[in-house]
Amino acid sequence: MYDDKNGQWQVNAKCRDYVADLFFPVGSSELAQQQTMEAKKVCSTCEVRLECLEMSLRTRRDTGIWGGATEQERKEMIRHFHVQKPNSNNKASKTIVDTEYYDDIMDYINLGKL
Ligand code: SF4
């Protein structure tokens, strides 16, 4: 399952076949909303979606679609799942999303709760 030790999962990222701008919609226009839906569609078929989402939560990516989630949706996840920001001085905090939450997070996304 999740293994981000070397970021190796990125070689299997589905978005590598698309223009990066697709995953960075700007504003809230109809065009931006369409772009968001298109990006999410790509993410929904990506085999490394969970790894991507975890990385984006851990690194607090504040723009773009990562793991199928917008920045606002990730903020909600951080609140909902009490995602901790890693502290480089504390190895114990390195894993920020407990594995027990993985299925819940995916359900959360897939059931459109965001
Ligand atoms: S989940 Fe989406 S943004 Fe993340 S690697 Fe896959 S396609 Fe790219």
**pLDDT for res 55:** 85
pTM above 0.95, yes or no: no
Tell me which residues have their CB closer than 6 angstroms to ligand 1. Answer: 13-15, 23, 42-43, 46, 48-49, 52, 65-68
Long-range CB contact pairs, 89-98, < 8 A, 24+ = 96/54, 96/57, 96/58, 97/54, 97/57, 97/58
CA atoms within 13 A on the CB side of 106: 15
Nearest CA to ligand 1 atom 2: 43
- Name the residue of 48, 70, 77 to mutate for ligand 1: max ligand atoms within 8 A of Cβ: 48
Give average pLDDT by consecutive 10-residue segment, the chain, 114 residues: 62 96 96 96 92 85 93 83 60 50 68 57
